Amino acid sequence: MGPPPAKRHPVFAALYDRLMGNPRPRERRLRAELLAGLRGDVLEIGVGVGNNWPFLLRDGIRYVGIEPDTAMLERARKRASALGLTVDLRCAPAEAIPFPDGSFDAVVSTLTLCTVDDPERAIAEIRRVLRPGGELRFWEHVRPAGAVAGRLFDVLTPVWGMVAGGCHLNRTTMASLEAGGFRVRVDRQFRMLLLPMVVGRAVPDEAGGALY
């Protein structure tokens, strides 16, 4: 099976850049806490416009970022140039990470797994490129637990996806990570703009299961 075709959502990329490209203090603190302590070779999937760079482009980290949306990638490259940064950015989807097995000490995903076309395949790819002892650091929004709210998100997802770059409001990402052979630790749960958010880390484990 070949990689999914490249995406291009110029209107969404422009709105995202304008609305999310300058994170508020709460979001910056969250990203800083999530990414603290990372070292070695780090891959970010779904770079967006580079909101994680202040916490990843530092001594001790060899950073690579992939982004499947060419419009978003163009904005990320322009931002890097404007800031005088040299950043290794590739156009690639999470479902087909263009690196050999065991290439990275950590993978970072912030508000990304909601947009991939095939989350199971993306999770398998993340696991494939992690070295032994490596980990996934994630911040994702997920489907609400309540029956009524969950069903509402199911109904809204097709329309939302058309205007939000393919974002799914109803992804059960924690269950998908566990099914994909990860042990998951949830560090924080909260709501932002009415969306249930989950922040944590996951490590490959042949036995599967969850670690909270």
209, part of any domain: no
131: its two tokens: 């070295």
Domain count, the chain: 1
The model's confidence at residue 212, banded by pLDDT at 50, 70 and 90, is very low
208, part of any domain: no
210, part of any domain: no
pLDDT in tens, 42-81: 999 999 999 999 999 999 999 999 999 999 999 999 999 9
195, part of any domain: yes
pTM of the full predicted structure? 0.91
195: its two tokens: 């969306």
1: its two tokens: 């099976």
The model's confidence at residue 3, banded by pLDDT at 50, 70 and 90, is low
93, part of any domain: yes
211, part of any domain: no
pLDDT in tens, 74-117: 999 999 999 999 999 999 999 999 999 999 999 999 999 999 99
Instruction: Read off the amino acid at residue 62.
Output: R
Instruction: Read off the amino acid at residue 99.
Output: F
- Which residue range(s) make up the domain with 73? 10-203
51, part of any domain: yes
Q: Is residue 64 classed as helix, strand or coil in its secondary structure?
A: strand
165, part of any domain: yes
Helix, strand, coil % (nearest 5) of the chain? 35, 25, 35
Residue 209: CB atoms within 10 A of its CB come to: 10
CATH code of the domain containing 68:
3.40.50.150
The model's confidence at residue 172, banded by pLDDT at 50, 70 and 90, is very high
The model's confidence at residue 175, banded by pLDDT at 50, 70 and 90, is very high
Question: Between 96 and 158, where is the model more confident?
Answer: 96
